[in-house]
Structure 1
Amino acid sequence: MTQAPERAIGIDIGGTGMKAGIVDLVTGNLVSERVRIPTPVGATPPDVLDTAKQLVELLGDDAGTLPVGVCFPTIVKNGVTLSAANVSDAWINLEADKLFSDALGREIHFVNDADAAGLAELEYGAAKDQQGLTIMTTLGTGIGSAFLFDGKLVPNSELGHLIWKGDSIEKWASASARERADISWSKWAARLQKVYAHIEFLFSPDLIIVGGGVSKNPEKFLPMIETRAPIVVAHHQNNAGIIGAASLVRSAH
């Protein structure tokens, strides 16, 4: 096994934006500016690949031939994307890691976006050295989740698709659902209380981490939620996907 590189590029592909940065794999800190380009309309594989190339170019000479970790809003198994959320259906059953490796000419590692956020917390944040089961939830357009057990990622959990009143629970309790319904933070916290109570009943986690865009304003909702397990805010907010995706390179070595 080769020695792990000290730096890697993380690319975070979302439904509305694609972001990238160079990450110090020892500290988990960004050592470059974070660059962002809007996700191409339709998010087809060729367009996303072109945008990924542009992001690497924006990182400049420091990007060199650094390996790349990519996180993506889809189920990922063995580098193959098996679903599509807010991106083209052409990603379903696509050998995405090979596609990116050929396009960028370098080592590629692929992971689900919520799993990437979980890895960032596992390696460099709230879940570091945590024993037992940690469940991270990302509250945004939907509800993403990452299961971390005794320092290892259990990939591709989809807690946002737990069924609630006949539909995915994220359509009722995500951050975007709060905005659509135009409800107060306290009313949204009451919805989240039901979500976390259900998750605790099913899985009995030892720690719950709350991430996503709303983790910048935890005082508006988190004090109103009661759980048996400690519930804390993610250390890495908007950079979690970039950092977690890059950390895959460290894990691979």
Structure 2
Amino acid sequence: MATTTTLSIDIGGSKIKACTLSKTGKILQDYVKTPTPQPATPEKVLAAIKELVKDFKYSRISTGFPGYVRDGIVHTAPNLGTSAWAGVNLAEELMMTLGKPTRVINDADMLGLGCVSGKGFEMMITLGTGFGTAFYLDGKVLPHLEVAHHPVHKGEDYDKYIGEATYNDIGKKKWNKRMQRVISIMKTVFNYDRLYIGGGLARKLDFPLDDNIELVTNIDGIDGGIQLWEQ
């Protein structure tokens, strides 16, 4: 349908962002954002989204969520409060709140859908409040793995080892040393054809990257919300 307009929502640990996109991925209404409510209960997040997009026009919704999501249902939300979110059918709740067909996947999954080349085995990681990961085979998103919660050092998982709180605590130099180790682990464990790195902390990387590693922004992956409906 030529008039299809997609509302793309990115729920983050600190901010919720939204924009609308044409069928070809062109931004129609630019990003607006609001602080993520604290505590970030489902009720408060849904209310914040409703207020954020009240002036937007759209025919369908794509949402990236910071946790484990299957079939639109949230199972974990480490940076929002898993106990409040576990079992919430976010796709259904958003559809009821905003009145349009809705799809929800992990936020790294959705960003990567807009970035990957569609050739071979590709991996997306996001560096921000936590550590997001996503995997693709010939452009198709694969089942989500919460790599972030695998222990990486002295019982610490990746969220703790290289998350934003740790960056602020240990500083850029030590954090970059940790990131060199993390990328080495990803390369050895997953043998990706191409790795994409996004998120707010990606711009803090200060060491040379392999030729098959690419830094990306939210704008680079803007049409992930479109691709989600093509999956």
The TM-score with structure 1 as length reference comes to 0.82
Extract structure 1 runs of 4+ deviating beyond 6 A. none
1:143-198 Cα offsets, whole Å, 9 max, x none, are 101101111111322222231121202312234422221242xx332211211111
Q: What is the aligned partner in structure 2 of residue 124 from structure 1?
A: none
Report SS of the residue matched to 1:40: coil
More helix by share: 1
2:156 to 167, 183, 186: 167
Q: Which letter does structure 1 place at the counterpart of 2:43? A: P
> Partner residue of 2:75?
82
Counterparts of residues 98-117 of structure 1 (less than 5 Å): 98-117=92-111
2:33 to 36, 48, 54: 36
Q: Output one character per residue of 1:73-102: Cα deviation in whole Å (capped at 9) or x when no partner.
A: 111111110111222422101121111111
Tell me how large the CA RMSD over aligned residues is. Answer: 2.2
Decide which of 114, 124, 128 is 1:120's aligned counterpart.
114
1-structure distance, mates of 2:35, 2:189: 37
- Greater displacement, 106-115 / 167-176: 167-176
Within a 5 Å distance, the mapping from 1:103-252 to structure 2 comes to 103-121=97-115, 127-129=116-118, 131-164=119-152, 165-184=154-173, 187-215=174-202, 217=203, 220-223=205-208, 225=209, 227=210, 230-234=212-216, 237-239=217-219, 243-249=223-229, 251=230
Q: Distance in 1 between matches of 2:183 and 2:200?
A: 18
Q: 1:53 to 1:241 in 2, by over 3 A?
A: farther
Give 5+ residue unaligned stretches, structure 1. 122-126
Q: Partners of 1:151 and 1:4 in 2: how far apart?
A: 24
Structure 2 gap segments, 5+ residues each? none
Secondary structure of 1:171's counterpart equals: helix
Does the residue aligned with 1:209 lie in a helix, a strand or coil?
strand
Identity of counterpart residues, as a percentage?
32
More strand by share: 2
* Structure 1: distance between partners of 2:222 and 2:39: 22
Amino acid at match of 2:158: I
SS in 2 for 1:160: helix
